[in-house]
A and B are shown apart, each in its own frame.
Chain A
């Protein structure tokens, strides 16, 4: 089987100084990306069955380097020839222990490796006149280390920090030397000290560096731990030294006694606490040329990386230095950043458990600044309402009734122009609505003004009958603007139609005015217009979650008609923004996009045919922030941005790219704020405690590569039926999310949507046969029916949760598995397997649910259920007790009776995987994979006969899938927690009784870098070949070989299949000296 593409935790990253290449370790693949255009340049298989845990590059020749992982290490070379790019690999070397760190000497020939038992290995490649070396020079101790760092201080000696599992740090040095052809190393211990209250997860030694307010250069040690502390130690003084490691071994590891034979602690320079969970590592940011230590970077389990700056402490009583939290990047989903690299100019790359890499340019902290009130004119005036009328042009009304234009183009000094001196009707009350180049202003007495930015002038539009409550402006496709004016008192609103205005000669702008009767209780919160087949429509959103559609011809005031009203569009929450997709003349339908304070983005299809107007919901998903979503913006490059508030932050999010654009800590949701989007972010203005602040972001805080992965392990995977057009993969994970993917081998997995509705980890997912419904189950009896459609504007695939099972959330039972047998479109008979041993059967149709039958098995948790055909049974279930159970159902008058008739103990323990095929004689072959390492083939007719392979895998079998070949033969693909994927040939001779005619042969056995495998599915690759998708901690797609290709090894056992295992994975078998 052949590797096609993957989405795996990124466990190593490194910048290659050359050509802006970013190298990553993804499982056992070394990948090279162009950090400019984010394209994958090359991927190279490195170790046969071991993930990469570290990458370093030679300082003097950045196209060569070293990778390591587990016990293994290997050198590599990057070759760029013209447009091609490739990675060539050196020999694989194995140490005898887990490698924690590796470092090349300044000459890039001697590689020092440190293992988890504090042993130092030296590896030197052989050349024409040197045999090279790969050996352990410093023997280890018996205490286990969680972290280590090697720093070469000169050509011949390295300084090493070793962090133990129990909070101690050992600082020692060693000098590997060669004399008369033999290598040896003298080592000395400088410090052994209790550093933290928990395991030391990260240590880092700086080179000699300059330090704030200190004349001398220092060597600093940074450490981080389970105890959530980050500490900085001054280890410049290396004069204290006790020889050899051997005797301290007994002292270290656990309960070091301070003042024992180890040395005293080095001076503690600074300490801080950071991150909400474990801190995995710390790195120094060292300015390349100046060799000053200017920052520290920490990252960890909370999937964020924090940049700390170092300053001298002001208070003399505390530690000499203070670490200040400069900024936090939270670019990864879920848990864990595993790897980081940092360039000399401060750019940072992080690799996450979600499979993504985040690239942050050198951080330039953007700070908020206050917009001084003095700009509003004399007399201590203050801001009332404001909005953007153009890029960097903020129009504001004031408390005293002024209208001012603020020029925000310079970040430091803001300039202003007073457009209008105090107007009495704007004093103390004004509403402002801004669109590009135009603003509308109304006050207490009914005068409606328009500000035209083109001529920096204020015009009067009309006199309203009372005080305006709200103004809502929208562009009209036919040209000009529509302005909806709502009033405080009446159940009616005024619709004004205005031509395009750039400059007007008259005092008063021309407008058409139409009256619009609002339904009772309809408080307008959003507004949009659209024209379909020459008829204009206004769409209004309300505070109570309603939307209403009005049509008008455009000229006479008597023809505004309410054509449609729809409740609960955003639950009972306000519809905050509306946008209509402009139509071409022939179009009979269009789409409306809306956001609400229910935290969702919704898309409706508006279809208009012969007088009947219909609005169908085609998409509605909860956004990853909220619930106060406030606005929609279409970017010039096809992005769909929404923004709003999430606890104390203002957040801008791109729905198409599924990423955060900008986030501002503004203290909470604000009624008074304005945002002007621009490339890379925008300018956010907000009022807080009667002061107005601004924050401008001009570049994205980070770029993402390979984003979209789950934050936790995948628990279930389902692929739409192979013979249908477009193939969509659905995955459900422990992070409670469901994701929809398209697999494009070239560019990897593309996440189309993230469905956030479950409150528990996903247990099971299944598609309807036609691929229009996806059904999901989880804990708390959560069970949802999703409807999927395609061809939508902006987002292509539309997803709505059509219904949830009436008992969703009502108990703490888990729905472990279910089956949706084929039925009429949109109607299903769903069998559900529960964690309390009950089986229930429901009919679902048109959002209504009917319980057909319910019955108990025994006391074991049911694992899955499969509908049966033809053999008289209704369904088959599997359970944690290793049984497959047959159930029958009988239709009574009132209700259906469900009862199990026989159970068959196939496995010793839980059955984790099940799949089946129907044989031509009407019997059924059920394949099960168990916790007991076994795969079973059970032929089910009147009786059940089983063929069992007890040691099919070395650990639990968790995934099975079928590759059909012909009537008498198929392939079975199996996978499990042992991280192997096996391909089996199964021949079935139905003429023979029971399982006598079933022959099974193993064809292939390959490693998968996906840990905690939970399932696998067969899918179609581009070009029609079949693939196998393995899911767990990440995803991995294999191409299934053609039957011809596999013919070569079929029928014979191939020892060579296993030969590489001997060479690479198993450390050599050594004779124990003590024997």
Chain B
């Protein structure tokens, strides 16, 4: 099933529907809940898929190898952070 976060829309700052907003918030809330309960060891099932889809969107514009995309969910001082790091090739920008 396709992941319905429309990243391009997000980047362009288009308004999300109320349902999309709910879904986006839930994805993170559920991920955090699972991480808390499992002592951070468990990764929610959609994270891998989310990563793959983001990579495929990025590749529409820039050719990047798999390792160039780092994706992580962390807790830092009580703050939950979903971090996405894309290293662009030097000649791209």
Partners in one complex: no
Binding site for A on B (CB under 8 A): none
